[in-house]
Chains A and B, each alone.
Chain A
Amino acid sequence: MKLNSLLCALAFAFFLPAAAMAVQPDEILPDPALEMRARAISQQLRCLVCQGEDIDESAAGLARDLRLLVRERLVKGDSDAQVIEFVRGRYGDYVLMKPPLAPRTWLLWLTPAAVLLAGFAVVLRMMRPRRKSGAGGAA
Chain B
Amino acid sequence: MKPQIFALVPLLLFIGLVALVAVPLLRGTDPAKPESPMIGRAAPAAALPPALAGVQGFAPAEISGKPAVINFFASWCVPCQAEQPFLARMAREYGIAIYGVNYKDKPAALAPWLQKHGNPFTAIGADADGRAAIDWGVYGVPETFVIDSAGIIRLRHVGPVTAAEYEKIFAPLLAEMKK
Contacts and interface: CB of A to CB of B under 8 A. Distances in A.
B137 A90 contact: yes
Contacts of A69: 131, 134
A48 B34 CA distance: 10
B37 A65 contact: no
Given A48-B139, A90-B134, A90-B135, A65 B34 contact: no
Size category, B interface: 10 to 19
A91 interface: yes
A65 B135 contact: no
Contacts of A88: 37
Contacts of A62: 130, 133-134, 139-140
Interface string A61-95: 11001100100000000000000000011111110
Contacts of B37: 88-92
A92 B137 contact: yes
Given A48-B139, A49-B139, A61-B104, A66 B34 contact: no
B48 to A, nearest CB: 16
The interface residues of chain A, by DSSP majority, are classed as helix
B137 A66 contact: no
B32 A92 contact: no
Contacts of A93: 34
B134 A51 contact: no
Interface in B135-177: 135-137, 139-140
B38 A90 contact: yes
B134 A66 contact: yes
18 contacts: A48-B139, A61-B104, A62-B130, A62-B133, A62-B134, A62-B139, A62-B140, A65-B130, A65-B131, A65-B133, A69-B134, A90-B135, A91-B34, A91-B36, A91-B37, A92-B36, A92-B137, A94-B34
A48 B32 CA distance: 9
A85 B89 CA distance: 39
A94 B137 CA distance: 12
Contact of B129 (A65, A66, A94): A65
Contacts of A90: 37-38, 134-137
Nearest to A69: B134
Contacts of B38: 90
Contacts of B131: 65, 69
Contacts of B35: 92
A48 B129 CA distance: 17
Contacts of A89: 37
Nearest to B140: A49
Nearest to B44: A90
Interface string A82-125: 00000011111110000000000000000000000000000000
